[in-house]
Structure 1
Amino acid sequence: MHIQEWLETVPAIAVYLLVGGVIGLESLGIPLPGEIVLVSATLLAATQDHINPYVLGACAITGAVVGDSIGYLIGRKGGKPLLAWLGRKFPKHFGPHHVATAERSFQKWGMWAVFVGRFIALLRIFAGPLAGVLRMPYWKFLIANVLGGIVWAGGTVAVIYSVGKVAEEWLKKFSWLGLVAALLFGLGSFVVMRIKAKKAAAAQDAEEKAARPENEAVAAE
């Protein structure tokens, strides 16, 4: 079976549920490739008429908003011990450096950290739970959460779908290339964010090492 024919057999409801579920779980605080899934599904919608981009965007937005809200409630109930537990279970994603970076963003930007965090892989995972842990007023969180979900998920679908439609004929002939390109794009974004996170962690380590002699000198006095 040609890949184009196989793609036509994929039920639209399965795509909608997959997108909403993965983005919702990522927003909840579980490290998942939500952006990769959203971009791939949108490119698929651009070549398959049975997948409605408006429904796809609505599912992505719903997953983002609901997932973040549940993450907020979990963070508010669990508090700092929750972050400590997550740090032990998932040190690569919830280590002290990651938490410290996210906390600094929240202290500096407040509710806008929730909005901007939707566009940054690290903060996208942290935003909901950390806003709850820091006891941000829910009405502020909800406004930033909804606006961020609409702009990020809706904007991503609109842009990627438009690009896909422009190249629709090319994508239909080489659909597998389109999917590979989408995956590479998503993986590239993920790798870039990982590199930035490692650089931030290294910088934090350097700051802590530089501060130790000062602290030891003060203690000695």
Structure 2
Amino acid sequence: MEFANEPIFQWMSQFAYQPGMVYAGLIAMMALSAVGFPLPEEVTLISVGILAFMGAHPAHFPPPYEGAPVVNVHTAAIIAFTAVVASDTLIYVIGRVFGRKLLYHPRVHKFFPEHMMKRVEEWTHKYGAYACGIFRFTPGLRFPGHLACGMLRYPVWKFLVIDGIAALISVPTQIYLLAHYGEPILKYLRQFKLVLFGIIGLLVIYFVAKKIHQRWAARAASR
């Protein structure tokens, strides 16, 4: 694994032997993603998968000391799945308890423009409870979508089943994919790392600029 000597991978490998920190960060990022934090949860899941791959190959990514604990792929997958479903359910419960007055509260509504809310309403009316699963695969609509599912009082068990199945399909699979097939993927990342970092940088700038624009538009509309 020639790419193992790359500075970026050497820097990342130190976290492969800090499972407690990684698991705590995983829970925090899954919760933040559920409430609309402008960093796709896929970035976190892929990063954890890479760390699990590194921990499974100590010959190429040496531990700080012999017997150091590693990021375990099965533990990470279970924690990620549980954190995602728990976060989604919390948003659902908030929507069920506080209803439309929360979703359309000025401080909440300014983060979700009218066209976004219109799409949420269209999907919930068109697909019913199955919209719970659709929102799981739609990063920008997860938070308002799960709030809407709660507001419409879809049965809790139905929300848990549909959201759980969607999360089971999308969440652990990304971690397992990177953990087991990390070598060819990391080689690819090494070859295109500048392009990758450039794309990530542009995405971050886009999300930040979008949020700033939405705030300005909301302030202008309220005047």
Q: Same fold (TM over 0.5)?
A: yes
Q: Shift of the alpha carbon at 1:7?
A: 3.0
Q: Shift of the alpha carbon at 1:188?
A: 5.6
Instruction: Give, in whole Å, the separation in 2 of the partners of 1:90 and 1:67.
Output: 20
Counterpart in the other structure of 1:43: 50
Counterpart in the other structure of 1:83: 103
Counterpart in the other structure of 2:158: 140
Q: Does 1:104 align with 2:122?
A: yes
Q: Shift of the alpha carbon at 1:110?
A: 1.6
Instruction: Give, in whole Å, the separation in 2 of the partners of 1:141 and 1:164.
Output: 33
Contact 2:78 2:172 in 1 (8 A): yes
Q: Shift of the alpha carbon at 1:120?
A: 1.2
Q: Shift of the alpha carbon at 1:140?
A: 1.0
Contact 2:103 2:144 in 1 (8 A): no
Q: Shift of the alpha carbon at 1:176?
A: 10
Instruction: Give, in whole Å, the separation in 2 of the partners of 1:15 and 1:23.
Output: 12
Structure 1 segment 3-14 matched on structure 2, within 5 A: 3-10=8-15, 11-14=18-21
Output the TM-score relative to the length of structure 1.
Answer: 0.70
Counterpart in the other structure of 2:113: 95
Choose from 109, 114, 117 the match for 2:135.
Answer: 117
Aligned in 2, Cα 1:183/1:112: closer, same or farther, shift over 3 Å?
farther
Counterpart in the other structure of 1:70: 90
Counterpart in the other structure of 1:131: 149
Output the TM-score relative to the length of structure 2.
Answer: 0.70
Deviates more, 1:60-69 or 1:125-134: 125-134
Contact 1:43 1:182 in 2 (8 A): no
Contact 1:68 1:127 in 2 (8 A): no
Q: Shift of the alpha carbon at 1:191?
A: 6.2
Instruction: Give, in whole Å, the separation in 1 of the partners of 2:198 and 2:137.
Output: 18
What secondary structure sits across from 2:37 in the alignment? Answer: coil
Q: How many residues align?
A: 188
CA RMSD, aligned part only?
3.5
Listed one character per residue, the Cα deviations across residues 95-126 of structure 1 (whole Å, up to 9, x for unaligned) are: 22211111111111122211122111123223
Q: Does 1:20 align with 2:34?
A: no
Aligned in 2, Cα 1:191/1:112: closer, same or farther, shift over 3 Å?
farther
Contact 1:36 1:183 in 2 (8 A): no
Instruction: Give, in whole Å, the separation in 1 of the partners of 2:89 and 2:200.
Output: 28
Instruction: Give, in whole Å, the separation in 1 of the partners of 2:192 and 2:80.
Output: 23
Counterpart in the other structure of 1:214: none
Instruction: Give, in whole Å, the separation in 1 of the partners of 2:114 and 2:85.
Output: 26
Give the aligned residue type for 2:14: T
Which structure has more helix as a fraction of its residues? 1
Listed one character per residue, the Cα deviations across residues 18-50 of structure 1 (whole Å, up to 9, x for unaligned) are: 1222112322x2334222222222223223332
Instruction: Give, in whole Å, the separation in 1 of the partners of 2:90 and 2:181.
Output: 33
* Long gaps (5+) in structure 1: 196-221
Q: Shift of the alpha carbon at 1:90?
A: 5.4
